[in-house]
């Protein structure tokens, strides 16, 4: 490799996160390199890459997030928990603040070791998502061609640092989200594209979901989708304010506060470490002598 920066591969419930540290020296990681590195076959394998940067606004760290397609995004709940876990280990702090393009977050480690992140507030206005046109009832948004053709009915939308639409269904596994997801994501109603979730309300305290993540595709877990689903379910009276969101990778605990703040809690894990070339998109795992040519 012509250049080398260390990386850490982590995951939150199987949502794969690549972490690089640019707090001292900028990483120079390019979108093309991200696309080369992200595949699970021939690459490092991740849904998002997070670059740690100093925060001029005074948070403990700024978290810059890009999806597997190289596009920068505003928020990632599982990444926030991964970053908090690393910084807790690094600093010994009990709590910390993380700034993102989607807003400032706070995190703490609970007594049981689980990382909990205050993800801020959900916004429900059509301009907040944003939608391409005014919608009177953002809890029942129609006009998405692929969803209507599939018989999904209207969806509920929210912005929790990034945009989400949730379709309330009886069986998320019975719907071909791999086909519908990209069509919903790129529908003209969503000028910034959108994350799409299929949600089955099991009871007042549990919702099972599957998620198509904007710029990443089908994912085993999406923290912001879990937050959006819980906030929308509470707002529409489908559940109470404390709910377990079941994802293919496992469960997240979501609590909606009296002030409508969203507290997300769940496990994280560190998988392996290595080094990568931020331009060429080659990499080595620690203990491996030769670089791999990703992509």
Binding-site positions for substrate read 15, 48, 67, 77-78, 162, 195, 213-214, 223-224
Give me the catalytic one of 34, 76, 83, 122. Answer: 76
HEC sequence for 125-176: CCCCCCCCCCCCCCCCECCCHHHHHCCCCCEEEEECCCEEEEEECCCHHHCC
Contact assessment for residue 165 and residue 184, using Cβ atoms and an 8 Å cutoff: yes
Does the annotation mark 76 as catalytic? yes
Report the SS3 class of residue 101: coil
- 194 Cβ contact list (under 8 Å, min separation 6): 129, 157, 163, 164, 165, 184, 185, 187, 214
The torsion defined by the Cα of 62, 68, 72 and 73, in degrees rounded to 10, comes to: -80
Binding residues: 15, 48, 67, 77-78, 162, 195, 213-214, 223-224
DSSP 8-state assignment for residue 44? -
Does the annotation mark 222 as catalytic? yes
Give me the catalytic one of 222, 225, 256, 280. Answer: 222
Please report how many Cα atoms fall inside a 13 Å half-sphere around the Cα of residue 252, on the Cβ side: 34
Kindly list the catalytic residues.
76, 222
């Amino acid at each position: 490799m012509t250049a080398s920066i260390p990386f850490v591969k982590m995951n939150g419930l199987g949502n794969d996160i690549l972490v690089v540290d640019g707090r001292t020296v900028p990483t120079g990681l390019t979108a093309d390199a991200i696309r080369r590195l992200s595949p699970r076959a021939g690459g490092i394998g991740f849904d998002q890459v997070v670059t740690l940067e100093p925060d001029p606004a005074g948070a403990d760290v700024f978290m810059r997030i890009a999806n597997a397609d190289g596009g920068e995004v505003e928020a990632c709940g599982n990444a926030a928990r991964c970053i908090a876990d690393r910084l807790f280990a690094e600093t010994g702090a009990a709590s910390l603040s993380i700034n993102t393009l989607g807003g400032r977050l706070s995190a703490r480690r609970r007594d049981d070791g689980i990382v909990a992140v205050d993800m801020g507030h959900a916004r429900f206005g059509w301009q907040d998502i944003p939608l391409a046109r005014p919608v009177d009832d953002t809890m029942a948004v129609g006009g998405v061609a692929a969803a209507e053709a599939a018989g999904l009915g209207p969806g509920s939308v929210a912005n929790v640092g990034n945009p989400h639409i949730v379709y309330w269904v009886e069986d998320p596994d019975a719907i071909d989200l791999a086909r519908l997801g990209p069509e919903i994501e790129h529908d003209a109603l969503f000028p910034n594209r959108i994350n799409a979730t299929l949600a089955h309300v099991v009871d007042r305290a549990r919702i099972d979901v599957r998620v198509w993540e904007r710029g990443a595709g089908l994912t085993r877990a999406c923290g912001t989708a879990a937050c959006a689903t819980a906030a929308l379910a509470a707002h529409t009276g489908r559940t109470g304010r404390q709910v377990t969101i079941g994802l293919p990778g496992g469960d997240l605990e979501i609590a909606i506060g009296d002030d409508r703040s969203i507290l997300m809690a769940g496990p994280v894990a560190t998988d392996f470490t290595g080094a990568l070339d931020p331009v060429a998109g080659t990499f080595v795992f620690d203990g491996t002598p030769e670089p791999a040519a990703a992509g």
